[in-house]
């Protein structure tokens, strides 16, 4: 997704907002450094010993807040939970596009 974010940043008329769940913090931070990307939203959902239900709940609640606040026209999702995120698309404005 890094090259896509950089391409959007260089495209006139487009604005990129990056949201990360930080489910895999160490790996994520390395990739963000390589591409020189600073997330606009960092949900920082990981806690020691949490369950899949806890991770999923925090991700959906965090994404809802971001989507309501940012009101994006298009959402691009990358990662293992993309099907879950796509199903959460009900938070998006009616005429928006959701892409994985």
| Chain Cα centroid distance, residue 46 | 15
For residue 70, pLDDT over 80 is answered with yes
Any idea where the domains of the chain sit in the sequence?
A: 2-71
User: Using one digit for the tens of pLDDT, what is the confidence trace for 27-40?
Assistant: 888 989 999 999 99
Rounded Cα gap, residues 17 and 76, in angstroms: 10
Rounded Cα gap, residues 34 and 55, in angstroms: 26
CA dihedral of 1, 57, 23, 38, whole degrees rounded to 10:
50
Name the region of 22 (left: φ>0; alpha: ψ -120 to 50; beta: rest): left
Please report the pLDDT score of residue 36 as a whole number.
92
């Amino acid at each position: 997704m890094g090259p896509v974010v950089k391409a959007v940043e260089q495209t006139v008329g487009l604005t990129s907002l990056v949201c990360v769940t930080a489910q895999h913090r160490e790996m994520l931070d390395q990739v963000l450094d390589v591409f020189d990307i600073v997330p606009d939203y960092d949900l920082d959902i990981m806690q020691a010993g949490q369950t899949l239900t806890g991770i999923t709940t925090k991700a959906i609640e965090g994404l809802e807040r971001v989507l309501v606040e940012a009101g994006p026209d298009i959402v691009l999702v990358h990662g293992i939970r993309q099907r879950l995120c796509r199903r959460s698309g009900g938070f998006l404005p009616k005429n928006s596009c959701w892409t994985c």
